[in-house]
Amino acid sequence: MTDPELLRSLRGQQYLVLRPVADVAKFYDDEQRSLRGLLQTSLPCPHTGHVTLRGFFEPERVQPLGDALAGWAQLQAPIDLRVAAVDGFPTPFQIVIARAERSPSLVSAYTTLTEMLDTSDFRRIGELPLDEWVFHLSLLYASALPEFAWLALHGQSRRDLASVPAEVITSAEYVWYDDDGEHTEVLPLGTDHY
């Protein structure tokens, strides 16, 4: 991530994400490029595609949180990630998303992560119960658009996918933000699973 304003807004936060690198990543890049082509203005977007599993606010406990997440990852089987549709979160968010299917392995990962976190006192942000969580990759942040322009963009881009991009995710990524910017640590999945 390179946007200075967005980096400032994330300072002190941490995230556990799944970052595709094959077919889903290619779909993400192609779709983001297509969306930008529909616009007469530049809007912010994630630098790379990712599915957020959880957000945290633990600026004083970055390492202990990372250690706990690494322990979870060691026990977590690789995750099937399939994109089912291009959709969006409505006003006031106005985010175009690639909505992921609720594959058994993705649901299991969210569930086991929740169970592990429930035994801790780590401060979680933006957390929802599993049945309310929408697994997704944010494609474009469009909150700066007037609502009529957002509705037009969402209407043009929203669709179910006939050919579902899919890949197996073999690592999670622990991402944290501090005064020095963005930092990441790759957490291999399943090292203790088999």
194 has pLDDT over 50: no
- Rounded to 10°, the helix 23-38/147-157 angle is 140
Q: Name the pLDDT band for 139 (thresholds 50, 70, 90).
A: very high
pLDDT tens for each residue of 105-132 = 999 999 999 999 999 999 999 899 999 9
* Coil/strand/helix, residue 47: coil
Structure tokens at 80: 């099937």
- The pLDDT of 92-110, averaged and rounded, is 97
* φ, ψ (nearest 5 deg) of residue 93: -75, -50
Q: What is the pLDDT of residue 40?
A: 75
Q: Name the pLDDT band for 181 (thresholds 50, 70, 90).
A: confident
Mean pLDDT of the chain: 93
**Residue 126 near residue 111, CB atoms below 8 Å:** no
- The pLDDT of 22-39, averaged and rounded, is 94
Superfamily of 11-188 according to CATH: Cyclic phosphodiesterase (3.90.1140.10)
- The pLDDT of 54-62, averaged and rounded, is 96
Q: What is the pLDDT of residue 14?
A: 97
CA distance 87 to 139: 10
The 3-state secondary structure of 1-27 reads CCCHHHHHHHCCEEEEEECCCCHHHHH
Domain ranges of the chain: 11-188
Provide the percentage of residues in the chain whose pLDDT is more than 70: 96
Strands (E), 41-192: 51-57, 79-89, 95-100, 124-125, 136-141, 159-160, 166-169, 171-178, 181-188
User: What is the end-to-end Cα distance of the chain in Å, rounded?
Assistant: 35
CA distance 40 to 35: 11
- The pLDDT of 21-45, averaged and rounded, is 91
CA distance 27 to 39: 19
* φ, ψ (nearest 5 deg) of residue 188: -60, 140
**Residue 99 near residue 28, CB atoms below 8 Å:** no
- The pLDDT of 57-70, averaged and rounded, is 97
- The pLDDT of 155-177, averaged and rounded, is 96
